[in-house]
Chains A and B, each alone.
Chain A
Amino acid sequence: MNSVGEACTELKREYDQCFNRWFAEKFLKGESSGDPCGQLFKRYQLCVQKAIKEKDIPIEGLEFMGPSKGKTENSS
């Protein structure tokens, strides 16, 4: 699956692979502590934010918002 920014697709694939493994093998089994994909996500996110600005996609500052439901832990 591609990213909205063509240049971000490879970064997205690396992150997705890491996340999918963590999700099925750790998170769903009740071990959500630790964030093995944090670095990959940061690199990928920077690329996507740039692409969104360039393409003028109308996301209302979503990526600048913290967690929306009041709780503070942010592992991304």
Chain B
Amino acid sequence: MRIWTSEHVFDHPWETVTTAAMQKYPNPMNPSVVGVDVLQRHVDAGGKLHSHRLLSTEWGIPAIVKSLIGTCRTKTYVQEHSVVDPVKKTMELKSSNISFTNLVSVDERLVYKPHPQEPDKTILTQEAIISVKGVSLSSYLEGLMANTISSNAKKGREALEWVINRLNAEIEEFAASARGTMRNSIAAAAFAEK
């Protein structure tokens, strides 16, 4: 069994990071995630939002292999449960694979909170528990997977930055268009008064 942990600070407020995390896919850093579905979602009596999601991933298996084994079987699936508490400002995300569970289990946990010293920033703590089953090289394979998880975590953080930029650009575009409309209305009103 291998445990991998990491901590990262985003230079954005918690609300921005959480909004981006809910819309993380698609993004160019994680091209293997090809499908995301919400299976269940509700706000509990404590006001926390629970979401159960299914992620489909495609690892670029060569076409000839796909044609031999049938395309349905080249996707791997991950299920994810997230809880967002808007009062305490925490978002916790847990995911585990539901494909190949007889061979490997990867359980990940991510927690996003405002940075305790710098409230306009967000701290992400992340951990993964990896277990390869029934194979004598399991320790080595677990090490390989930990490296993959580490580089994927870096991509995941870059992905959030990408989504945040996209959302900010959309807001700016909307504001610019609203300003343009207002200027036109004022000009038209001024002209009409003459």
Report which A residues bind B (CB closer than 8 A). Answer: 1-5, 8, 12, 15-16, 19-20, 23-24, 27-30, 32, 41, 44-45, 48, 52, 55-59, 62-63, 65, 67-69, 71-76
Cβ-defined contact, A4 with B98, below 8 A: no
Complex contacts, A68 vs chain B, CB 8 Å: 50
Tell me, yes or no, whether B79 is within 8 Å of chain A by CB. yes
Cβ-defined contact, B86 with A48, below 8 A: no
Tell me, yes or no, whether B121 is within 8 Å of chain A by CB. no
Tell me, yes or no, whether B189 is within 8 Å of chain A by CB. no
Complex contacts, A65 vs chain B, CB 8 Å: 40
Those of B1-60 within 8 Å (CB) of chain A: 15, 18-19, 22-23, 25-26, 33-47, 49-50, 52, 54, 56
Residues of B in contact with A, size category: 35 or more
Known contacts A67-B50, A71-B45: A76-B19 contact under CB 8 Å: no
Cβ-defined contact, A75 with B37, below 8 A: no
Q: For residue A55, give the distance in angstroms from its CB to the closest CB of chain B.
A: 6
User: Which residue of B39, B72, B86 contacts A27 across the interface (Cβ within 8 Å)?
Assistant: B86
Most buried by A among B26, B33, B34, B77: B77
Across chains A and B, which 3 residue pairs bring their CB atoms closest together, nearest first?
A71-B45, A71-B44, A74-B42
Q: For residue B181, give the distance in angstroms from its CB to the closest CB of chain A.
A: 20
Complex contacts, B18 vs chain A, CB 8 Å: 28
Most buried by B among A41, A57, A63, A72: A57
The contact sample of 28 A-B pairs, CB cut-off 8 A, is A1-B26, A1-B35, A2-B35, A3-B36, A3-B37, A4-B54, A15-B38, A24-B19, A28-B19, A28-B84, A28-B86, A30-B87, A32-B47, A45-B38, A52-B54, A56-B72, A58-B77, A58-B98, A59-B39, A62-B79, A63-B39, A63-B40, A67-B42, A67-B44, A69-B44, A73-B43, A76-B40, A76-B42
